[in-house]
Chain A
Amino acid sequence: MTKPKRPLRKAPEVRPARAAGLKPLAKCPTGIRGLDDVTEGGLPRGRSTLVCGAAGCGKTLMAMEFVVRGARDFGEPGVFMAFEETVAELTSNVASLGFDLPSLIRRKKLAVDYVRIERSEIEETGEYDLEGLFVRLGTMIDEVHAKRVVLDTIESLFASLPNEGILRAELRRLFRWLKDRGVTAVITAEQGKEGELTRYGLEEYVSDCVIVLDHRLTNQVATRRLRVVKYRGSKHGTNEYPTMIDEHGLNVLPITSLGLSHDVSTRRVSTGIARLDTMMTGKGYWEGSSILVSGTAGAGKTSIATALLDSVCRHGGRCLFFSFEESPDQIARNMASIGFDLNRHVRSGCLQFHTVRPTLYGLENHLVTLHDLVDRWHPRAVVMDPITGLTSIGEPGEVKSMLMRVVDYLKSRNITTLFTSLTEGGAALEKTDISISSLMDTWLLLRMVESAGERNRILYVLKSRGMAHSNQIREFVLTDHGIKLTDVYVGRGEVYTGSARVVQESRDRADAIAAGQASHRRQREITHERLALEAQMQKLQSRLAELKQETTMAAKQERERDATSRHDTKGLARIRKADSDGAQEEGNNT
C-alpha cells in the first residue's frame, strides 16, 4: 500500500455489491498502512469501532491517525475527544509523525477537546445525565461537519463518575446517538484483566467492530500485534498481524493475506560466478526467485551473496544488502579482498546497505523496515545475511512466518532474494535452523572439506526449482579476482580438494612423464641392440668373405705349388738324368 499524500483520495462510499440487490456494508478507510487491507476497506462507516488494548499499545495513536488521515487525506473532518491527554500534549505527541494538529484545527478540519473530570472536585447529589458531554460533542461535530469521531478513552468516566448505573445508560445512549448522527466513531478502551476485552465491558455497547492491539515481550524484544476480533457484516482477516509504529505512524503488516498468485518471470539473473551459472543451465538464478545459501562458518556465504549483488549492480540494477552481523565498511573491505568493489556500487547509487543487529528491534520492525526500503528503493535483488541471526529475537515459528512474508512480498515484486543461513557445526547440513528450505527455490550448499591437514570449500546445488541444474560438486576457491569454481579431483573413490588436488594432479603428471621416459629408453635399447647385431653380422659376413677369399687363394697357391713342384721334379730328373724307371717311380709318387 502506498502512503496517502496530499491529493484527496476518494473514500469508497459503497463497495461493489457481491450479490445483486444487496448493499454491502460501506467502509470508511483509515489510511493506516495495512489496516485497510485487513479490514477489506476500512472501518464500518457510520458505526462505532472499539479499539482496545493494554497501556502503551498504540490505541491513541491509531485513533488519532484515523481522524487526522481522514481530515487530511480523505476530506472527512473529524472530532477528537480526549479524556486522558490535553490538547497540547496530543499536539506535541503526534507532531513527530508529521501531523500538524493546530493547522488542521485552524482550517476547521479537526476539533479537539479535552474532557477532564476530577473525582475529588465532584459531589454527586441526585439524578443527572451526560447531556453536557453530548452538547460538547455535538457542537464540535457541527463546527467542522465531522464525519469521524474519536472518544479516547471514554471509560475513564467510570473512574470519575460514581454512579455506574447512570453512566452505563448514558453510554448506551451516546453510542446510539453517534450512530444516529451518521459519524464513524472510534472508541478506545483499556484492556481488562484475564482475557476481558475491556475493563468496563464497553464491548457490550460498541460491538460492530472490535480491534485488539497487543504489545508483548518475547525474549526481551517488544512485539506489537493487531487483531480484528469482530466485524459485523464484513469479511476480515482474522490473524494476529504484526504491527509497528514508525515515523509515519502505525503500520499493520497484512502480508499473510497475500495469496500465492504472483506472476513469475522467465528471465534469469547471473549469479556473478561464471561456473555457477554453468551449473544452473548456463544462465543463473531465475529472476524473482528465492535463494538460500547455507553453510558452516567461513564457508563463503557472504561471498556468494556479494557475487550476485555485484552482477546485478553491473547491469545497472539496484540492490539492498541487509546485514545482521557486519557493518557496511567491513563488508566492503572484506569483499574488496576477493575482488568485489562494493563501494563503487554504493557511490553509483546501485547498492544500499542496511545493517542492524537483529536484536535492535522486533521481527515485525525488521519486516516493516524491509517493506519501507523496498518501496522506496525498488531493488532488483535483496540479500539478507544471515537470517540465522533472527532466531535470537523470535521463536523459530515466528521467524519462519516472517521470512515467508518476506519471500512472498519480494516475489510479488519480482525481486530476486538471497538469504544466507549459518549451519551450526555438527548439525545436519541439509537441515536449516529455521526449516525454511521449502520456501526457497534454489538452495546452494557450501561445505568445508577437511583433508591432508587443510580445510577447503566445496559447493553444490542442492536444489533449484525449474531448471536442470548440475549435480556436480565443485571446489569453491576465493581468489583476488573473485570467486572461482573448479572441478574437484575424483579418484579411487575419494574427493581431493585444495593442495591435495594439486598434489594429486602433479603426481599424475610426474607418473606420465616417467612412463614416457621408460618407453623411450626401451626403444633406444632395442635400437642399440639391433645396430650392434647388424654390426656383428657385417663383421661376420666380411670374415666369411675373407675366408672365402683365403680358401680361393690357398687353392690357387696349391695349384701353383704343384705345378712348380712338377716342373722342379722334371727339371731335377732331367738334371740327374735318371732312368725312366727311377723317373717312373718318382712320378708315381706325386
Chain B
Amino acid sequence: MTKAASSPKSGTWDLKLYIAGYTPRAVKALENLKQLCEEHLHGVYTIEVVDLLRNPRLARGDQIVAVPTLVRKLPEPVRKIIGDLSNRERVLVGLDLRPR
C-alpha cells in the first residue's frame, strides 16, 4: 500500500465519528478530532457525528462495536480509530497522515 502519508490536499476527507450519547468521552473525542483536522486537513474535511443512541441502526453498517469510533470513509481505504483520540500521534498514524 501507500508507503508515504496521503497528501492532505488530495481530495476531500470524509470523516465520521460514532458516539453513543454526548458523554464526556465523546465530547473529548470530538474536540480532539476538530483540533487535529483544523491543523492538518484545513478546508478539505467534513466531520459527521453519528449518535448511536439516536440512530442505532447505523452501527451495523460500519461495524461499530466500540465508541467513540472515528471512521475515515474517504480517502479509501477505510480506516477506523477507536478511543477518545487523546493520543494525537496515534491518530495521525491511524489516519495515514504520518508514516507508520
Contact = CB atoms under 8 A, between A and B. Distances in A.
Interface in A151-172: 157, 161
Contacts of B80: 121-123
A339 B53 CA distance: 80
Given A132-B18, A132-B65, A136-B56, A124 B78 contact: no
A218 interface: no
Given A123-B90, A128-B68, A157-B65, A136 B84 contact: no
Contacts of A157: 65
Contact of A125 (B20, B65, B85): B85
B54 to A, nearest CB: 10
A127 B78 CA distance: 21
Interface in B38-78: 52-53, 56-57, 59-60, 63-69, 77-78
B79 interface: yes
Given A135-B53, A138-B56, A124 B65 contact: no
Q: Could you say which interface size class chain B belongs to?
A: 20 to 34
A136 to B, nearest CB: 5
A115 B66 CA distance: 11
B81 A123 contact: yes
User: By DSSP majority rule, is chain A's interface helix, strand, loop, or mixed?
Assistant: mixed
Given A117-B63, A122-B81, A125-B84, A131 B91 contact: no
B87 interface: yes
Q: Could you say which interface size class chain A belongs to?
A: 20 to 34
Contact of A126 (B18, B78, B85): B85
B84 A131 contact: no
Nearest to A163: B83
Nearest to A157: B65
Given A123-B79, A123-B80, A125-B87, A131 B93 contact: no
A127 B83 contact: yes
Given A116-B63, A121-B80, A132-B69, A127 B25 contact: yes
15 contacts: A115-B65, A122-B82, A124-B82, A125-B94, A126-B29, A128-B83, A128-B84, A132-B69, A135-B53, A135-B59, A135-B64, A136-B56, A136-B59, A136-B60, A157-B65
Interface of A: 113, 115-117, 121-136, 138-139, 157, 161
